[in-house]
A and B are shown apart, each in its own frame.
Chain A
């Protein structure tokens, strides 16, 4: 329903958006994820009509939005600062888009009441925004943006001003709200955890470009490149050189670790001699004092270099020789102890031959 086609945006010398292409489906919870300054807000503002691409097109239901001013686009935004009008009550704030659309009074009153129920704040209609808590303001901002039933709802880091507990609660509410009303969401965040938890699909952006668009699990397990692997979750990135590529496996010489054979998740057209990297999630690595040999696994011996106690798990940084370090983690299920191994201990680690994902 929303198509971004070859959109570029330049600020002076700086390219904030570079040939961005993406397609959002109707009813989807779509997230733009990327580090600060990668152009997420610029893209969102172009969709809303507050910024204009230098080239490319933005289509909604097949029709270009570019020549329309913001008030004529069937797209509403939830601003990071909430942007509630301080001189209007909650009810008047929510009624604002309905009044602009010239709905009649009784219909406005009915819709305001209804949406206040949806965000579970029916008793706050007569309050002013200043008298609400952060989470309540957030909900009112969402209610105001939803009340006129836009085709598309844009949300720019709407939860970033909330504390961690409230954020988690609001995430659950957002998911449910989106599911109930079925409006397409385009959500911006730099928090990869939030993106994974909320979205149907995620576009990872880096320096104005789209790095990868995929479903959360696919993005996490099969990152398309080093940037995505590194940006989403914890990840070991082991550099190496392709020795030989077969149809079902690839032989790789990992720097400092020697030759290994990997199955699954192999990018297309790998050439012998090409540099590549194995991306490997810490939780995919087994770690113990001694591990029984297993043909399906790759086996290494190393020394614990550092440990990081995280409460639920402890992260072990294991040196496998010649400066190659790997992060592995163990759940702290046994009571009492903060870690099972100390720095200097010799340990064995292993991972399944198809556990990692090879990227260029």
Chain B
């Protein structure tokens, strides 16, 4: 009994090390008092100070947040409607289709969106990035909502109508509150995906609309500076917080 347990522990420890060592390196060097990512010299906040006084970096952070929020909200609303529709039509292939953009290679989506925006004369900037992000985020919200819907007893809506609620009242008072956990889980997923996205954003961004990942990439082209480490650390922290909150939400969102 004891041996397989130990092996299992060792194996999972190795997996976690493999996953987190690269991240740990970034975090550690973001506090290193040296321009070179070679050896530990001493602790400093200096790179964070520099980061927060770098206007370009702050602009990118602001862009990222606005885009992620907008993408999450938009895909929350659209995905919610899509999820309800998916539940109503009960067609497997429709659900598969809504996840298509998620499964597609990012580079393909990026290129095709760029072409589409050019075709329809949509200028590249924050708006085009938001639209692009929404296109691959809707699927997550839709699926989370659909899961909630299929866990929901159809007679609840009939009961509401029976007791005097109009179709709109029964949607607002019964359907919506019951779907909310699914919508929120989907929106947080959308926010995480949006703030982390590089490839699709790269193709759909215009002048002045660079997001954090794009800004980091342009800095790294010269060298991996401690500043990059610092901003990466912050981004990582934000993602971790979101993932933690999300994991609180999703088991409940799947339960009926």
Contacts and interface: CB of A to CB of B under 8 A. Distances in A.
A137 interface: no
Interface stretch (B65-73, B162-170, B242-250): B162-170
Interface stretch (A75-83, A245-253, A265-273): A75-83
Contacts of B46: none
Contacts of B162: 48-50, 70-71, 75-77, 145
Contacts of B160: 85, 96
Given A87-B178, A100-B169, A69 B161 contact: yes
Of listed A70, A86, A87, residue having the most chain B CB within 10 A: A70
B153 A70 contact: no
Nearest to B177: A87
A79 B158 CA distance: 9
Interface residues of A, number: 23
A80 B173 CA distance: 22
Contacts of B25: none
B156 A85 contact: yes
A293 interface: no
Interface in A212-237: none
A199 interface: no
A356 B159 CA distance: 45
A77 B161 CA distance: 10
A145 B177 CA distance: 22
Interface of B is mostly: helix
Contacts of A71: 161-166
Interface in A80-100: 80-81, 83, 85-87, 96-97, 100
B81 interface: no
Interface in A93-118: 96-97, 100-101
A96 B165 CA distance: 9
Contacts of A79: 155, 158-159
A293 B165 CA distance: 69
B99 interface: no
Contacts of B153: 81, 83
B164 A83 contact: no
A83 B159 CA distance: 6
A101 B169 CA distance: 12
A139 interface: no
Nearest to B157: A83
B249 to A, nearest CB: 16
Contact of A70 (B156, B161, B169): B161
Nearest to B158: A50
A144 B155 contact: no
B174 interface: yes
Nearest to B256: A86
Contacts of A81: 153, 155
Interface string B139-156: 000000000000001011
Nearest to A73: B162
B187 to A, nearest CB: 19
18 contacts: A48-B158, A49-B161, A49-B162, A70-B161, A71-B164, A71-B165, A79-B155, A80-B155, A83-B153, A85-B156, A85-B159, A87-B177, A96-B163, A97-B164, A100-B163, A100-B169, A144-B163, A148-B163
Interface of B: 153, 155-156, 158-166, 169, 173-174, 177-178
**In the complex, the 7 A-B pairs of residues with the closest C-beta atoms, listed nearest first:** A100-B164, A83-B159, A97-B163, A83-B155, A70-B161, A79-B155, A77-B162
Given A71-B165, A83-B158, A97-B164, 15 more contacts: A48-B158, A50-B158, A70-B161, A75-B162, A79-B159, A80-B155, A83-B153, A85-B160, A86-B156, A87-B177, A87-B178, A96-B173, A100-B163, A145-B163, A148-B164
